[in-house]
Each structure stands twice: as C-alpha cells, then as structure tokens.
A and B are shown apart, each in its own frame.
Chain A
Amino acid sequence: DAGVIQSPRHEVTEMGQEVTLRCKPISGHDYLFWYRQTMMRGLELLIYFNNNVPIDDSGMPEDRFSAKMPNASFSTLKIQPSEPRDSAVYFCASTSGESTEAFFGQGTRLTVV
C-alpha cells in the first residue's frame, strides 16, 4: 500500500476562494482523521470518520469548513470561503480499530493570501 495519500501537497489561493483538500486512506482502514497544524495552535483534530460516518466534528472551526467521506477510499475537506487565517498544514490520517498505529499523509500546505 502506498500509505495515506493527500492532494495537493501545496495550495496557494486567494481569500474568498473555495479550497478542496483530498485524502485517500490506507485500504482497509475504517477510521479517517483530519488535522490542522499551525505554529500557534499545534496539531488540532478537526473531524474524524468511522466507516465513512462523521463521528466527531467538534474541532471544525467554523461553518466555512466541511468534510465528507462518500466512500471508504476517499475524503475531502472543503473551506468556502477561505480566509488568510486558514493558512496551515492539513493532515489526513487513517487507522483501523485493530491497529495500534495511525498513519499520516504528507500533508497539504495551504496558503491563503
């Protein structure tokens, strides 16, 4: 398996534009997590899914953020409209209930100007 795959690796967009971040978890994993990393706030859990169902979205900062998992092999995190303070590295991770390890993607570095 190629691991957790995120795209794009880098995204630069203008304030007000819609941004969509993508994640492909490891095959067979039934948990998927979206994290945001900034210097000020560290690594924050935004939302996580179990069997494609959102379990806890209490970390999603505002209504401008939304996440979906239409099937077991794909998830998106959307920001609409984007703002400069959304600039961060966004990580996706996946694991299974039986696994002791959560595997992380390489992250998407988002810059909103």
Chain B
Amino acid sequence: GEDVEQSLFLSVREGDSSVINCTYTDSSSTYLYWYKQEPGAGLQLLTYIFSNMDMKQDQRLTVLLNKKDKHLSLRIADTQTGDSAIYFCAERGGSSNTGKLIFGQGTTLQVKP
C-alpha cells in the first residue's frame, strides 16, 4: 500500500538552509505536498508539486522531486525562528483514488537563534 516516510527531527541555526527529506512508495501519485503545523494548530499547506515536475521554487522554499527514486525534499533558505514547526510530506492520487491524502510522520524543525 501507500507509505510516506520522513526523518523525525532536524535542528539548524537561524540563517542556515534547512532540507527536509521524504520518500514515498506510490509511483502513480499525482501531487506531492508539504504542510506545516505550528504548535496547537492545524495543518497549513506550504507548497505542492505536480508529479511531472522536478522542481518548484516559491520564495524561500524549493521543492525537489526525484520521481525515479520516489524522493521529495523541501529546502528552506535563510531559516528563521518562525519556521520552527512540524513539516509533513503528503502524497495524493495514485492507484487507489485521486482524493486520498497519505501523510508522513512529520519532521520537527528546530531553529536555534
């Protein structure tokens, strides 16, 4: 079945770049997402990439997709303390249904001043 995996924790210094990695198993996924969750809040969509793309840039965020290896990454340039949160990778579509979203376990990003 579908599975999405992420490393659980990342710590960086303010001003450095952060790279959060994700792997997925369903090669027929249509969209891949990055969501952000701040403490006590719901999930907020940060960015997404369509499966026929290999890169997407949106201000400080860069998403790289290696479809062959089923690997997705999120790079945050000039990481700020306000970026401290849990980041979830998710896939949608695939062989089961276009609506179903499967999430990874989430990566906790800690930004040290």
Contacts of B98 in A (CB 8 A): 97
Contacts of B101 in A (CB 8 A): 33, 45, 93, 95, 102
A106 touches B45 (CB 8 A): no
Chain B residues engaging chain A, CB cutoff 8 angstroms: 31, 33, 35, 41-45, 48, 50, 88, 92, 96-106
B103 touches A100 (CB 8 A): no
A55 touches B97 (CB 8 A): yes
CA distance A101 to B50 in the complex (A): 12
Contacts of B92 in A (CB 8 A): 102
Contacts of B33 in A (CB 8 A): 101-102
* Chain A interface, number of residues (Cβ within 8 angstroms): 22
Chain A residues engaging chain B, CB cutoff 8 angstroms: 31, 33, 35, 42-43, 45, 48, 50, 55-56, 91, 93, 95, 97, 100-107
Contacts of A91 in B (CB 8 A): 42-43
Question: Which of B42, B50, B106 is A107 in contact with, Cβ under 8 Å?
Answer: B42
CB-CB nearest in chain B for A91:
B42
Contacts of B48 in A (CB 8 A): 100-101
Contacts of B106 in A (CB 8 A): 42-43
